[in-house]
C-alpha cells in the first residue's frame, strides 16, 4: 500500500496501517500510536565497519545494484529532488539539505530546545546528527583539518561515532539523534510545518 | 519430419503463449495505471499545512498485494562478510548502535516490493529496519 507515494506498513498482530515516514498508525486498533525512531547513520559499509569492527551485517540476496556510495555523491539529482536529513517530534520538525552542508560541514544548531551538531564528512559523504551536551555542558563544535573539535575543552571527536578520541572529554560519546534521510518533497509533504536550516547569504 | 514439425509447432505455440501472457499482463498493468491515474486525478487531497498528515487525511492505495513479514535472515560478522558477494564495501547501509549490539542494514536489500522491512531484535530491543 502507498500513501502520498510513501510506503504503508502493516503489523501482523493488529492489522493497523502505519505511515512509513511518520511511524504513526493512521488506521486500525493502534491508530494514533507513534513508533520510536531509532537513531541510524546512512553511510557506506566500508566506513561503518572501520569505525565499528564488531558490527554485524544483514546478508540477504541483493535487491538492487544501486544504493551504493556513488549514487549519493550528488545529493540533488537531475530531477531537482534534494536529499535532506530531518528530525521530527509530534509538535515540530526541522531539516537540513545535504547539498548545503557541503560548504557548512559542522553546524551548531538547536531542535526543540535541544542543542545539536550536524556533521558532514566529505571523506565518505556521511551526515550525522549528534546531541552536543555532555554532563549538562553545552559544547560548540568546529572543524579543523578534518577533525571535529569542541571550543570549550578542545577535545577531538570522531565524526561518525561521536566519541571523544583525545582531550579532556576523551571516552565520552555524544548522543546519536534519530535523523531521517529523505527527499525534500516527501519531507515537505509529511512535515508541512517543518523549518529548514538556510545558509547565511 | 513430423518430429521437426511438432518441435516447430511447440516453439511457435510457446511463443504465442508467452506473447499472450505478456499482452495480458500488459493489459492488467494498463488497468492498474488507469485506476491509479483516476485515483490521483479526483482523489486524494494532497497533504499541506491546511491538510496535514493525520488519520483524517489518510487515503492509502493498494498497489500490490501484501507481503509476509520478514523475521528471519542471515546475519554475518564484519569479518565473515569479507569477500561475500552479498555485501560489498561501497554498499550504502543504515548503521545502528543499540545497547551492546551493532548492525548494518544494506539499503539495497530493503528496496524490493516484496522486501521493505526487516523485523529484528538489536540490543534486546525489537526494531524494524526500513528504507
Per-residue pLDDT of chain A (201 residues; tens, 9 = 90+): 888 889 999 999 999 999 999 999 999 999 999 999 999 999 999 999 999 999 999 999 888 878 887 766 566 777 788 999 999 998 899 999 998 998 999 999 999 999 999 999 988 999 999 999 999 999 999 999 889 999 999 999 999 999 999 999 999 999 999 999 999 999 999 999 999 999 887
Per-residue confidence (pLDDT) for residue B37, from 0 to 100? 73
CA distance linking residue A182 with residue A186, whole number of Å: 7
DSSP labels, B20-34: HHHHHHHHHHHHHHH
Instruction: Please give the average per-residue pLDDT across B32-38, as a whole number.
Output: 71
Residue B106 DSSP SS3:
strand
- Which helix or strand (DSSP H or E) is residue B91 part of? none
Model confidence at B40: pLDDT above 80: no
Among the partner-chain residues B66, B88, B103, the one whose CB lies closest to the CB of A10 is B66
Per-residue confidence (pLDDT) for residue B122, from 0 to 100? 97
Per-residue confidence (pLDDT) for residue B113, from 0 to 100? 82
Instruction: Using the structure block, give the residue that is written with the C-alpha cell 530491543.
Output: B125
Instruction: Using the structure block, give the residue that is written with the C-alpha cell 545529493.
Output: A75
Contact check, Cβ <8 Å, A45/B49? no
For A125-166, the three-class secondary structure string (H helix, E strand, C coil) is CEEEEEECEECCEECCEEEECCEEEECCCCCEECCCCCEEEE
Contact (Cβ atoms closer than 8 angstroms) between residue B60 and residue A3: yes
Contact check, Cβ <8 Å, B95/A53? no
Distance to chain A for B43, nearest Cα, Å: 11
C-alpha pair distances (Å), B11 with each of A58, B20, B25: 43, 14, 21
Per-residue confidence (pLDDT) for residue A22, from 0 to 100? 95
Q: Is 0.90 surpassed by the pTM of this model? A: no
Per-residue confidence (pLDDT) for residue A67, from 0 to 100? 86
Pair type for strands A147-150 and A156-157: antiparallel
Model confidence at B57: pLDDT above 70: yes
Model confidence at B107: pLDDT above 90: yes
Residue A27: its chain B contacts at CB < 8 A? 55, 58, 60
Distance to chain A for B97, nearest Cα, Å: 8
B57 vs B3, more confident: B57
Among the partner-chain residues B78, B92, B106, the one whose CB lies closest to the CB of A53 is B78
Chain B, 78-97: which have a CB under 8 Å from a chain A CB?
78-79, 81, 84-97
CA distance linking residue B93 with residue B100, whole number of Å: 19
Per-residue confidence (pLDDT) for residue B64, from 0 to 100? 82
Distance to chain A for B10, nearest Cα, Å: 34
Per-residue confidence (pLDDT) for residue A126, from 0 to 100? 94
B42 vs A109, more confident: A109
Confidence of residue B39 (pLDDT cuts 50, 70, 90): low
Burial class of residue A13 (count of CB atoms within 10 Å of its CB; 0-12, 13-18, 19+): exposed
DSSP labels, chain A: -EETTEEEEE-TTT--EEETTT-BEEESTTTT-BPPPPP-EEEEHHHHHHH-TT-EEE----S-S--BGGGGSSSB-TT--BEEEEEE-SS-EEEEEHHHHSS--EEEEEETTEEEEEEEETTTTEEEEEE-EETTEE--EEEETTEEEETTT--EE-TTT-BEEESTTTT-BPPB---EEEEHHHHHHH-TT-EE-----
Confidence of residue B62 (pLDDT cuts 50, 70, 90): confident
Amino acid at each position: 500500500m502507498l500513501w502520498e507515494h510513501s510506503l504503508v506498513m502493516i503489523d501482523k498482530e493488529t492489522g493497523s496501517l502505519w505511515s512509513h515516514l511518520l511511524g504513526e498508525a493512521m488506521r486500525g486498533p493502534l491508530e494514533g500510536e507513534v513508533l520510536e525512531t531509532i537513531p541510524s547513520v546512512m553511510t557506506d559499509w566500508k566506513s561503518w565497519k572501520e569505525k565499528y569492527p564488531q558490527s554485524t551485517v544483514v546478508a540477504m540476496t541483493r535487491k538492487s545494484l544501486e544504493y551504493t556510495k556513488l549514487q549519493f555523491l550528488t545529493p540533488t539529482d537531475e530531477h531537482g529532488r534534494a536529499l535532506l536529513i530531518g528530525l521530527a517530534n509530534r509538535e515540530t520538525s526541522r531539516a537540513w539539505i545535504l547539498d548545503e552542508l557541503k560548504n557548512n560541514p559542522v553546524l551548531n544548531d538547536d531542535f526543540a530546545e535541544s542543542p545539536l551538531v550536524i556533521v558532514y564528512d566529505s571523506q565518505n559523504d556521511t551526515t550525522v546528527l549528534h546531541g552536543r551536551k555532555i554532563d549538562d555542558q553545552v559544547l560548540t563544535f568546529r572543524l579543523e583539518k578534518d577533525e571535529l573539535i569542541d571550543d570549550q575543552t578542545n577535545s577531538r571527536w570522531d565524526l561518525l561515532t561521536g566519541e571523544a578520541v583525545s582531550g579532556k572529554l576523551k571516552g565520552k560519546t555524544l548522543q546519536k539523534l534519530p535523523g531521517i534521510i529523505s527527499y525534500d518533497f516527501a519531507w515537505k509533504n509529511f512535515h508541512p510545518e517543518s523549518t529548514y536550516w538556510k545558509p547565511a547569504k | 519430419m513430423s518430429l521437426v514439425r511438432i518441435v516447430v509447432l511447440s516453439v511457435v505455440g510457446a511463443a504465442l503463449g508467452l506473447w499472450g501472457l505478456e499482452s495480458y499482463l500488459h493489459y492488467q498493468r494498463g488497468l492498474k495505471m488507469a485506476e491509479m491515474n483516476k485515483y490521483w486525478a479526483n482523489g486524494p487531497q494532497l497533504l499541506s499545512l491546511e491538510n496535514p498528515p493525520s488519520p483524517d487525511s489518510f487515503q492509502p492505495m493498494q498497489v500490490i498485494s501484501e507481503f509476509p513479514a520478514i523475521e528471519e535472515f542471515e546475519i554475518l560478522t564484519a569479518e565473515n562478510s569479507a569477500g561475500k558477494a552479498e555485501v560489498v564495501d561501497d554498499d550504502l547501509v543504515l548503521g545502528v548502535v543499540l545497547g551492546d549490539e551493532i548492525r548494518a542494514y544494506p539499503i539495497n536489500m530493503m528496496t524490493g516490493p516484496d522486501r521493505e522491512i526487516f523485523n529484528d531484535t538489536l540490543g534486546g530491543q525489537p526494531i524494524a529496519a526500513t528504507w
